[in-house]
Chain A
Amino acid sequence: MSSLRSLRHCLALGAILLYAGISTARWARRAVHWPAHVGVDEVSLYERRFDQLRRALPPTGVVGYVGYPDPLAPPSDSVPSPALLHFRRYLLAQYTLAPLLLVEDTTRALVVGNFAPGAEPAPPGGFESAGEFGDGLMLFRRRRP
């Protein structure tokens, strides 16, 4: 009877400790990869890209937004889902520029242009450039009538 109890003890404990042991080893291995520098992740880099543009914008209010790639573009090897990438970049721009509200249209007085680095797109109809901030970031202002 007591050996049966011991066996049950061992089985129960062994199952949990095996599971916990495997994960603990994985956690320890993960913790070894402590990054030397903080802020080199995609979102932090994206935020820094907007530093200059942010200073040229009003702190609050609503501005327009045009971005890239064209969400209706056909998928390619490098961009399997243009619509998703376009959306992600818009979301990151909104996160970075909050509390400013970014609306994906050109009905506002100011429009943020978020294009591929090196691109020189024409301003949307009725707008003129209000500044270039490098890395494909532009600001457009509605042309005065």
Chain B
Amino acid sequence: MIVALALSAVVSAALGTLLLRWLWPGGGAPASRPLVAALGIGLGAGLSSILLFLWLILLGPRRAFPVVEVALLAVLAAAVYRSRRSPDLGEGRGGWLEGPARLLTPLFLLVLAAAAAAFATMLRQEPHGGWDAWMNWDMRARMIFLGGAGWRTAFAPELPWSHPDYPVLLPSLVVRAWLYAGRTTLLGPALVAATFAFAIVAVLVAALGTLRAPSQGLLAGMVLLATPFFIRHATSLYADVPLAFFFLATVVCLALDDRAGGATPRFAVLAGLSAGLAMWTKNEGLLFTACVLAGIVASGRRAGWPDTRRRLLSVGAGLLLPLLVVASFKLSLAPANDLLSTLGVERTVGRITDPTRYAAVLRAYGVQLLTFGANGLPGVVWPLAVFAVALGWQPIERRRPWARTVAVALALLLAGHFMVFVSMADELARLLASSLERLILQLWPSALFLGFMVTRTLEEVGGTEPAATSEVPRVAVH
């Protein structure tokens, strides 16, 4: 069974990595093998989830899925081989054992080992995860996997408390792991959780290592692994960490698109695909996608309208497949959203004109932002502030359009959640207590990526690398 589960992880990761290798532009576009592999793990899982959903719609939870998926992988591998598209990915900027990274790589591995050990221990203590995991995601996975021809009962309106309108990336990945294993096992959800938790760290480290410097990636990775709620929440088996992966992948692809300088639409298409997979993970992904599109428009003045239009069209093209899947799910299977269904004009107007609700949400936001990541230190914002002040901004990176796009998108997302709390929550205090930290966590890896991208590196401050190296020449890619 362990071998079958491992195979399920390898197949989806290979699917994603092969697809990325095939799509990745050549001709000097920013790239590295670790980044492609890290992105491939999560994007592959997302695509496997869509495949499984289509399989369910057409055939139900039939056990032959793994055979078909492996066959598809073989076809893709053959297509990639025959196309002879093999961009020179390289290892990114500089070595992982040179300069400051020589000290930081072993330290990072130490933090990673401790976090992984704690992750395994916590999962062994609570193998069913937190309340939402068993009452929602894994209950739904069980109903699909064990339900046979009646698998659609998983979305029955008789289960309103289980949010049957939520997208099904997570349950479908658990079902997929069980189809490989041949039976239900608690190792299935654990494998999915571990895949996304550690793939996020890998993407963060590899992307910063590729676009800025290995030391910057290693430091950001350490901060993420050291954020107590990140590891703790990953073991709760909720969908927030997978969602955070797709947020981060979108943001990284936007940064890659900016670096490629309009010579290829492929990174923007990948950003769209990733945002679409976020929509397929949780309803919050819909708001995120809208915020990203608004962010692209908002940064349009700096990027120029032709570039903005190109980016919007490319992101839209990437969104298409997951959007179709989400729409078909919402139209054919999902009942009405429980939050939206409680909205009435009179009640909503009453809520949004109540100043005490704004004050309560604002206070909760302030406390959460200042104390998020507390681990004995009062919050992670304080060491990060010291880091940023000591090293200073990287002026070129800070002015890039993608940085503005992402900053606007993240700010809009926080503002959007703010208004959801104000206007929709019946029990405001309870919802803030149970949700706000998770919402911050969803943004956390993306915010770290943005912050470390626009902060100078140790090499730049130490003079071991000229500051201008972050100004990658805009090259013709194809």
Contacts of B390 in A (CB 8 A): 7-9, 11-12, 15
Binding site for B on A (CB under 8 A): 5, 7-9, 11-20, 22-28, 30-31, 33-35, 38-39, 41, 43-44, 59-60, 62, 87-88, 91-92, 94-95, 98-99, 101, 103
Classify chain B: how many residues form its interface, as a range: 35 or more
**Known pairs A27-B231, A99-B143; A20 contacts B111 (CB<8 A):** yes
Docked CA distance A118–B126 (Å): 28
Whether, in the assembled complex, B158 has its beta carbon less than 8 Å from a beta carbon of chain A, the answer is yes
**Across the A-B interface, how many residue pairs have beta carbons closer than 8 Å?**
156
Most buried by B among A19, A28, A35: A19
B residues within 8 A CB of A31? Answer: 114, 117-118, 120-121
**What 9 pairs between A and B have smallest CB-CB spacing?**
A23-B226, A31-B117, A15-B386, A27-B114, A27-B118, A99-B147, A15-B383, A12-B390, A43-B128
B436 to chain A, nearest CB (A): 20
Chain B minimum-CB-distance residue to A98: B142
B110 closest partner in A (C-beta): A24
Of the candidates B124, B151, B461, the one whose C-beta lies within 8 Å of that of A38 is: B124
Residue of B118, B142, B387 near A16 (CB, 8 A) is B387
Residues from chain A with a CB closer than 8 A to the CB of B122 are 30
**Distance of A87 Cα from B228 Cα, bound (Å):** 29
List the B side residues contacting A28 at CB < 8 Å.
114, 117-118
Cross-chain pairs A/B with CB under 8 angstroms, 19 sampled: A13-B100, A15-B382, A15-B384, A15-B390, A19-B226, A20-B111, A20-B222, A26-B375, A27-B118, A28-B117, A31-B121, A34-B120, A41-B126, A92-B134, A94-B162, A95-B138, A98-B143, A99-B154, A101-B156
Asked if A18 contacts B377 (CB within 8 A), the reply is yes
**B383 interface neighbour in A7, A16, A60, Cβ under 8 Å:** A16
Q: Are A60 and B125 in contact (CB under 8 A)?
A: no
Q: Give the chain A neighbours of B161 by CB distance below 8 A.
A: 87, 91
Q: Which DSSP category, helix, strand, loop or mixed, fits chain A's interface?
A: helix
B387 CB to nearest chain A CB (Å): 5
**Would you call A9 and B461 a contact (CB within 8 A)?**
yes
Besides the contacts A17-B107, A34-B124, what 9 more A-B pairs have beta carbons closer than 8 Å?
A: A11-B386, A22-B377, A23-B111, A23-B225, A27-B115, A27-B117, A35-B121, A39-B127, A99-B146
Within B144-188, the residues touching A (CB, 8 Å) are 144, 146-148, 150-151, 153-154, 156, 158-159, 161-162
Residue B135, interface by CB 8 Å:
yes
Q: Give chain A residues whose Cβ lies under 8 Å from the Cβ of B405.
A: none
> How far apart are B410's CB and chain A's nearest CB, in angstroms?
21
Could you tell me if A95 and B391 are in contact, using CB atoms closer than 8 angstroms? no
Determine the chain A residues whose CB is within 8 A of the CB of B355 once the complex forms.
Answer: none
Given contacts A95-B139, A99-B147, contact A34 B226 (CB under 8 A): no
